[in-house]
Amino acid sequence: MTFSPELEAKFADLVTHYPEGRQRAALIPMLMFGQDEIGSVTQEMMEELGRRLGLSTMQVDEVVGYYSMLHKKPMGKFHVQVCTNVACMLRGGAELYDHACHKLGLGHKQVSADGRISLEEVECMGACSWAPAIQVNYDFHHEVSTDQLDTILEGLQK
């Protein structure tokens, strides 16, 4: 499989960051950047990255399975992540997540029929002092009220 020339250049640079013979270290960044481009960690991607780094597909697979941000099934184009951990919970994070579920008609890690939006209840994302917080893909939204959430979600549905 092929990646975009920009990503290939990034990968070529990435493997030089680690000591000689330790190129496996590039695996997790490659999976993350690859997923950002392709949309999910596909079987084909695992085989390809394994081949490049001298790993079996199984070895890549066991790494993918460990990390919560790596998805083998495609998430929506806009992946809405609502934190309900303690700091967010104290400021209404759980209610915010329930609101998102009803508004979108989706549950944890479900994707809308058109593939546009997905929802996930996530653990602490490091926005505790600005809770409740959500992330849409990598973008943080802080101190989100249910009204603001509606506006954000409606913007994504268009």
> Residues in the site for other proteins, rule: CB under 8 A?
17-19, 22, 24-29, 31-33, 53, 62-63, 66-70, 84-87, 89-91, 123-131, 135, 138-143
Least distance from C-beta 18 to other proteins, angstroms?
8
Q: How far is the CB of 64 from other proteins (least distance, A)?
A: 9
Residue with Cβ nearer other proteins (105 or 137): 137
The Cβ of residue 119 has, within 10 Å, a number of other Cβ atoms equal to: 25
Nearer to other proteins by Cβ, of 2 and 129: the residue is 129
In the complex, the smallest distance separating the C-beta of residue 114 from other proteins, rounded to whole angstroms, is 25
Distance of CA 96 to the CA centre of its chain: 19
The least CB distance from residue 113 to other proteins, in Å, is 26
105 vs 126, which CB is nearer to other proteins?
126
C-beta closer to other proteins: residue 8 or 67: 67
How would DSSP label each residue in 67-136?
-TT--SS---SEEEEEE-SHHHHHTTHHHHHHHHHHHHT--TTEE-TTSSEEEEEE---S-GGG-S-EEE
